[in-house]
Amino acid sequence: MTKKFWVRCGLVVCGVLLAATAQADFPSVPTETYQALNLDRSASPKDLHEALTKRYMDPGRGAGKGQYGQYWEPIPMSKYFDPMSFYTPPTSVKDIATREQCVKCHTDESPGWVALWKKSVHSNLDKIRKLTPKDDTYYKKAKLDDVEKNLRSLGKLGATESLKEVGCIDCHVDINTKNKADHRKDIKMPTADVCGNCHLQEYAEQQSERDTILWPKNQWPRGRPSHALDYRANVETDIYAGMSQREIADGCTMCHTNQNKCDNCHTRHEFSVANARKPEACGTCHSGADHNNWEAYNGSQHGLGYQASKNQWNWDIQLKDAVVKGGQRFPTCQSCHMEYQGKFSHNTVRKVRWANYPFVPGIREPVFGEWGQKRLDAWVKTCTTCHSERFARAYLEFMDNGTSSGLDKYDEAHNVVRKQYDARLLTGQKNNRPAPPAPAKAQFEQFWQIYWSKGNSPTAIELKLFEMAEDHLVQLHVSLAHQYPGYTYTVGWAAMNRAYVEIMDEDTKLKDRLMLMERVAKLEQSKTSGLLDFDSTDGKITLGSVGGGLLLTGTLALAGWSRRKKNQR
């Protein structure tokens, strides 16, 4: 008995020592992230998770209501958009429940949750331990080993303990540390750092987007655009904070929540990796007028091929093996945007160049410069999975030059309307242009103009110009990028051209009106302008008075002739 006791103690000590010396050196996490966190690659999982989470939860670096927080208040849905800031446990249920009671109660109250959870890997981790190399998901065995290593480093799993399941309490209270939970006090909505307890590599990869998209001249703020800071990009938009119609403003928030949680792609409560590998997982958010990625991809040869053959693909295969072993015949959002230099990760921005929005001031310079060239080379490597390098470079040049042509068209129209604005010639600009709600500013061509309007603020021509950039130029670029010619010309170039024509037409009409007003003003200043001008200050008969007299005499004579003619009848 004593011998067995000391053996167990030895195993515990060894386990603790192993956990303490475990490293979180994930090759898929870029060096820039370790540098930004002031960590060596020899850091433990605990050190990496704590450093990531400290930054993640820092209001100065993206968490919370943002710099305009004083202007807006959360609505009921905000607790689900940003659980870290706004979620509070429900008070209607007073139970203190065990793990088993959670499942039993929710089987009655919300059976869909339980059914999906039971289908998930989380419900029975022993299934993973029993996998053999013949199984397509055998790779998850090593993943589970990493998960347990992470939890031991965090002090949430014993040195010789195995994780049996990930149940309600593990995600909604704390992982593997409690067997009971007070529904009124303990319940929380999981945020990305919660998932990162187990899935540390993926958490670090996604957070690394902050560190790998840095623009040469700050064309975009540091780390944007990205999933890692998409909520910040939303709440720190001035019109989002200023709008009184909060449900309209938060319509955008529905997609801008990848920063806060993981279930936009890994939907609750099955958290299926296979489903997250499909383009449909991206289509909910990456669609619509100003980011028509889903529509462009879906209508392209790539997308149509995917739709026709997707049921023949093996979605259990990892992305890195999808083409060779999984039967993947066409590229997907994930196979292109999650790949970098032949490796796959949750960082989707390491190749970003145009950033979806070509109209951002100064963005063309880095795209065609050294910064953009390095990223273009990375794209070429991606494309050569299926195409020759010569084809890939030719098409990327085609896309860049086509986008640049659209930007030239927009710039010309922009300069015309800008001159009208500076000269205060826009409709109602002098008397019917209410200021937008604070913190939005009454400046030329601002984002608020497509969300807020009052009187002639903005004017029709300003709105047309902004839609030319925000919608049609984007649609042109995105359609070129995803090889969909239909949108490139119909909603892209053709719509831009129509807006350009209408703007130039309005500009010519405005100039004509100004010329006419100037002529009228000159005529009004001259006494010779009035045909009935009988008042001469110097007593002289003017041409105007002569003309007026002749006109009056002729009018009287005509009236008399008409009366005589009538009497003769």
Q: Which of 290, 316, 377, 533 is catalytic?
A: 290
Q: Which residues of 350-379 are buried (b: 16+ CB within 10 A; e: fewer)?
A: bbbbbbbbbbeeebbebbeeebbeebbeeb
**Do 466 and 418 meet the contact criterion of CB atoms below 8 Å apart?**
no
Q: Quick check: is 240 catalytic? A: no
Spatial CA neighbour of 204 closest among 213, 192, 214, 215: 192
Backbone phi and psi for residue 98, each to the nearest 5 degrees, phi listed first: -85, 175
Q: Quick check: is 291 catalytic? A: yes
Residue type, 144: L
Neighbouring C-beta atoms of residue 299, cutoff 10 Å? 18
Please state, in angstroms and as integers, the Cα–Cα distance from residue 80 to each residue in 85, 138, 264, following that order: 10, 34, 12
Q: Which of 80, 87, 395, 489 is catalytic?
A: 489
Q: Quick check: is 297 catalytic? A: no
Spatial CA neighbour of 203 closest among 358, 35, 385, 55: 55
**Beta-carbon contacts of residue 367 (< 8 Å; ≥ 6 apart):** 353, 354, 400
Q: Which of 291, 337, 414, 477 is catalytic?
A: 291
List the Cα angle 315/317/319 in 5-degree steps.
95
**Beta-carbon contacts of residue 123 (< 8 Å; ≥ 6 apart):** 117, 165, 166, 167
Token pair, residue 190, equals 């999981």
Q: Which of 34, 357, 410, 487 is catalytic?
A: 357
Helix, strand, coil fractions of the chain, as percent rounded to 5: 55, 0, 40
Q: Quick check: is 512 catalytic? A: no
Count of positions (residues) in the chain: 569
Burial class of residue 192 in the structure, from the number of CB atoms within 10 Å of its CB (0-12 exposed, 13-18 middle, 19+ buried): buried
Q: Which of 49, 256, 269, 482 is catalytic?
A: 256
Active site residues per annotation: 256, 290-291, 357, 489
